[in-house]
Every structure is written in structure tokens, then in C-alpha cells.
Chains A and B, each alone.
Chain A
Amino acid sequence: MLEYILKRVLFFIPTLFVITILTFALSVHSPGDPVEVMMNINAENAQDDNKIAKMAEYEKMREKLHLNLPVFYFSLSPLSEPDSIYKISKKLHRENLLRINDNHGNWQAVSNYYQSLIALEDKLIITKVVDTLADKLNLMKQALNDLYYRHEDEHIQQKIAFISQQAKVLNHQEINAAVDHLSASFKVLLSDETLWKCYVPALYWYGSENQYHVWLVGMLHGDFGISYYKQQPVIDLILDRIAPTFVFSLLSVIIAFLVSIPIGMNAAIHKGTLKEKSTTVILFVLYSLPGFWVATLLINYVANAEYLGWFPVKGLSDFEEGASAGEQLASCLHHMVLPLFCYVYSSFAFISRQMRGSMLQTLSQDYIRTAWAKGLSPRKVYWKHAIRNSLLPIITLIASIFPGLIAGSVVIEQLFTLPGLGMLAYEAQVIKDYPVIFTIMLFSAILTLIGYLVADILYALVDPRISFGKK
């Protein structure tokens, strides 16, 4: 048994490694720019000034988040892509250049083209022209700006032609030279295509100075990054919220199993009777009611003082300062009733149906017939002989409970304002706080693995026929 557990734990290591890579890959490829989220620069803010100062702050934050490093230990990319693409700080520029590179397969030419764009832009910014030509200059700036985000050859050609046209009217020596350089660099891009490089893989090694390594090492030291929104360590946020979710989940699991197993057994024993059928109908009605709807109904009627007003609407407690331990406990329990009901009601039908099916199967086994033949009392037959084997499918369900222990029920926590992890995940999802989302996801994945291990061990405990050791 011990050997089996050790084997499984060892097997977890590569699985976990894969999970961390998947989680990290998702976080890297999520839409939006984390630096801008952290700095709260958004489209709803019309003010746009001090660009240089903002850019300096942007670079500082980028460095703080280690986004100035390569993504992974190595990169397996087409030969046409450079190994230093991550150094281009502007995400949208970087992505566009890669698209152009995909079309032509010549990074050197793409890079020259990009440099010539920047050079022309610098010239346009510092050039002062007479009022009558200001329009032309601005039209050039506008067209040039477009080139940073467009990769279609035809479009680029049109824009460069337009810029050249305006430059002729402007007749400014340095600008003309920069436009000629831009035009020439694009021509080289078109003529010196090395598209074959796009189909040849290339492996670049970056060593341990990469984003994943920093993230993984941090994670092993308990540092899961910084929340974009709260700007606090993610692990602190999770530790703050884990207790309510854990308590609710654990209690709901215990209640669900304690209630459902006897119901399921009774249903199997009294199969076909009116009692069994009516219980099944009630449970299925409950099962079919969506959680958010039941919770909303409970809030609007059971918690609403206009109707019943029996329970509080939100939170975990509302005892006054200086309340005794008993009063505090009573307040907590009072607050827990409605959320707990929402947590468990739908699992009654599911678990009890599983238990019923499993029990019926067990009751048809030969050894049960033997037990009856031996003249054992029904109590002994059901509760001693039948139950252990009937519990096997139920144990499988336990594996799925573990991730729920931390993920909680997002809907219930949100509706009842419970300070749990589900609520944290919900908030993070709304504001795209990826470090929080992915850490919770990672924890869930780890707990799923633990869940399967626990289920395997429980199998062995419940069913003596299952052995993990060598025969």
C-alpha cells in the first residue's frame, strides 16, 4: 500500500509539471496587457498626456512583472523568428511584426522595416513645418501609425505609397530620405523572402532567466505572483479566503453524504413502493432547480423581512462587539443555513441515485442471497454486508470533491456575499486578474490529483478484494 502511494505521488510530479506549464501558457496568452491593467490605464480614461513619463513607468512595471524576460527555458519556433522577440516591449507591435515575419520569413528584413518605421516617426515628430503643410505632416503620421499594426502587404504598400505622395509635397530632405529608406526596406522585405525558414523549426535555449522559471521558483517558495487588481501577493488573498470556502464545502459534503446514503439505501430496499417513488420525485425536482434561482428565491422570500425574514441576507456573522462565544457561534450558524442549503440540496438526488443503483446491484449478488439464507436480520444484511460494496461508486465521487473544497461555489458565494475563494475567483474573472485565476486553477488541479489518490486509498479500505501491493 505504502509503495503504491509513493508510486502515485512520484507520478504526480510530471503531471504537476505539465499542469504548471499549461497554467502558465494560458496566463501568458491571455488577452490584454498586464502592465496596463496594473497601472490602471484604460480606454475609459480620456486623459492622455505625459506619454514619456507613462512609458518609463510602463517599462518599470514590465520589469517588475518579469515580462522583459523570455517566456520559457527554450523556444521551438520557425527558423525565421528571432530568439530575442520578447525584447520588443509593446505587445501589439511584437504580434504584428511576427505576422509580417510569417508572411515573408526574413526577420532581418522585418527588423529593418520596423527600424525604418521608427526612424521616420522620429523625423516626423521633430520636424516643424509651415502651417499650410501641417495637414500633410499629420496625414503622414496617421498613415505611419497604421503601419505599426498592419501586416497585409497590399495595405502596407498602399500606405507607403500614400506617405511618399505626401512627402513629395512636403519636400523635406530628411523626411524624404527616411521615407525612401522605409520604402526600400519594405521592397527588400518583399524581394528577399525566405519563406522556407517558416517551415524549419529552430530551438533556442534561454537558460533559467525566463518568465516560467521565475514563476515556478516563486511558486515553490509560496510566491504565486501579485494580483493585478489588489496589487497584493496572490497567496495572501487565497489564504484570507480559504477558510469559509473550506468550511462550507466540507460541511456540505458531510451533510450531503449523511443524508443521501440512507435515502439511497432506503430507496433500494423499498424499490417500487409509493414512498420510494415520491422521495425520488421530490429529489429530482430539487435536482432540477438551478442553484442561482433557488438562492435568489431564498434571499427574496426567506431572508426578506417583507415576507419571512428568517435568515440574514449576507455574510458569515453579525454579532456585536463583546458577544459571548455562544452568541458568536449562534450568529455564524444562523448565517450559514441558507448558503449551506444551496450548497447541498442538489447533491441529495445525485448521490442518493448513485447509492440506490449501487445498492440494488449489490443486493442481487450471491453473497447477499447467502446472508438471507443464513437467516441474518435485514439490519445486518443491509448495514453490514451490503453497504460496504455499495459504497464503491460513491467513493469515486469523493475524488471530485477535493477541487470543490477550494473553488467553492462561485454563484452561492456571490449571492450571499461570502468571503470565500469562489467569490475571489469570480471577482478575478470579472476584472481579468489572471494571476489569481490561474493560481486558483492550479490549486484545483493539485487537489483533483489528491482527490484521486484519496479515492484509491479508500477503495482499498472499503473493499478488501482490492489490493495495491504485489501478490
Chain B
Amino acid sequence: MDSSPLIAVPDVLIHYQGIMTNEVLKAMVRQLEASFLAKGVRMPRVKKINAVLIECLQNLIHHAESLTPIGTDAPEIEVAQEDKICAIRTRNLVSEKRRGLLQVKLDSINQMDSAELRSAYKAAMESGEVMGRNTAGLGFLDVARKSADQQIHFNFEPTGTGLYFFDLRVRV
């Protein structure tokens, strides 16, 4: 995972690498919620952080290439916090085709301001093209809307096998 810090001296709350399922997701959400509430974080903020975490994790569950589901190529997630900023970072393998789609989608999202993000989210939801599992576009719009800087930071690292590590970072 890219070691460049999203925040200085982070307090790592969750770090997990391995097979990603909804059961893992639920366990993380419960753990994070309990951790934040114990620290006195108010419920609406806990919900916002969990919302971003859930979208990121469900993106891993539904879209991560699973050619090597265990080991250092397995999907990875980290949640860290310092003061009032929470940083969520995921890494997973993607195909060349999906890398291209993600690049276009995320570049477009990162050029939007908050009003444009809200408008694009509504349009995507009304379009009817995102029913079922294929909701990554809507999910990224939601993540960007809820992030501290309306940005989804990302990069792709080639593996030399035709796949890429997709590194995604969000500040909430």
C-alpha cells in the first residue's frame, strides 16, 4: 500500500487485508462505531464516516478482481484518524479495462464542486442505469459528496501481469 500519509501521525483504527465479505464489512462497521462513540464522537459524524466506509468496502466486495484472494494481492482497507479528520484507504486489483473506466469516472467526479456532485448524484439515481450491484458510479459520487474536500484521491500501480493496484484514499 502507498505509504504517503493522508494525515500526520495517524491513529490506525482498522487495518485489514484478506477476503472481503459483507460479514467482514458488518464487523468493521460495528467496531468503528463503538470506537468512535467511546471517544465521544457524535452520531451524525459516525454515520457519515460509516457511510463512506461502507461504500468503499462494498466497492471492494463487488468489484475487486479476485484472481489472488489471499496474500499481498488481496483487497486491503485502512481507517485512520487524527483529530477531526478520518482517512479511509483501500487497495485492490483491477483489470486494464476497469482501470480506464475508473480513471475517467474519478477524474470527472474530482472536477465537480459540491453542488455539481449533488446534481450528478440525483441524475445518476434517476437514470435507472445503476439498479442492483452495478452502483459504483453512484457510490463514488456519494463518497465524494461526504468527503472533507469533495475529492477521491487515487492512483494505479501496474503489477506487470495486466492488472493494476487501485489505491483509493478519502478524507472524511
A binds B: no
* Interface residue ranges, A against B (CB under 8 Å): none
